Amino acid sequence: MIDVLSSHGDAAINILCAVLGAVLGVSGSYWLERRRQRQIARAQIVIHLRRWLKRTLYQMYDIQTWVGSDGAGGALYSKLPNFRFEKSLDQVALLEYPMAMKLFKLVHKKDDANVEAKNAIEDEDGDVAVDVFRYRSAQVWLRAMRLYNRMSDQLGWLDRPFTDGQKTMMEEEVERFQKLQLKRAKSQRKILAFFAGAAPKQPKTES
């Protein structure tokens, strides 16, 4: 009787080991495939970011040339290009949650920048609208650049196609606009103070 139970126990253990091995094998294969898909998605997004960064950088060069030449060269733009991965956000969803959320926020920042540039074109004079677009373009470019570098590091791609000088130029665009905003605000305060001082004083009435 004991021998029968022992033999059945061995069989049960063998079956359990086989099932456990199969489960672990399937689970391991799943995670390996998931990791492979994630790496592919990351590489595709990095390539898309690189193309977007280059295109937006060339837009900035064109605008700077247009402003510096009084319209004799270069070109003006009113909209930042879309990211290619926007067409299939499934790629982004394959990434780790924190990185996926950063990319989703990047898309929102780009869309917000385009809305702000559109409003500036409709409500402000030409120079102000150009300044707004340059500022918002530089902001989004710098944000995208940080994500590009981080994801490239994750892939082991150490090549940096954008120079420190280009990054500095974009940072200077942000600082330039912030200084312009302070200058404009100061001028507006002076104008308001002037008109407030020039307004005729009401005569005092005797009680």
Q: What is the pLDDT of residue 5?
A: 40
**Cβ(154)–Cβ(42) under 8 Å?**
yes
Q: What is the pLDDT of residue 183?
A: 85
- Which parts of the chain fold into alpha helices (H)? 2-68, 90-93, 97-123, 126-155, 164-198
Q: What is the percent of the chain where pLDDT is above 90?
A: 62
Domain boundaries, the chain: 42-190
What pTM was estimated for this model as a whole?
Answer: 0.77
Q: Give the pair of three-digit tokens for residue 52.
A: 């977007």
Q: Dump the DSSP string for 158-173.
A: ----S-HHHHHHHHHH
Mean pLDDT of all residues in the chain? 84
Q: What is the pLDDT of residue 4?
A: 45
Q: Give the pair of three-digit tokens for residue 93.
A: 């969803």
Mean pLDDT value across residues 26-42: 78
Distances (CA, A) of 81 to 3, 43, 124: 76, 20, 22
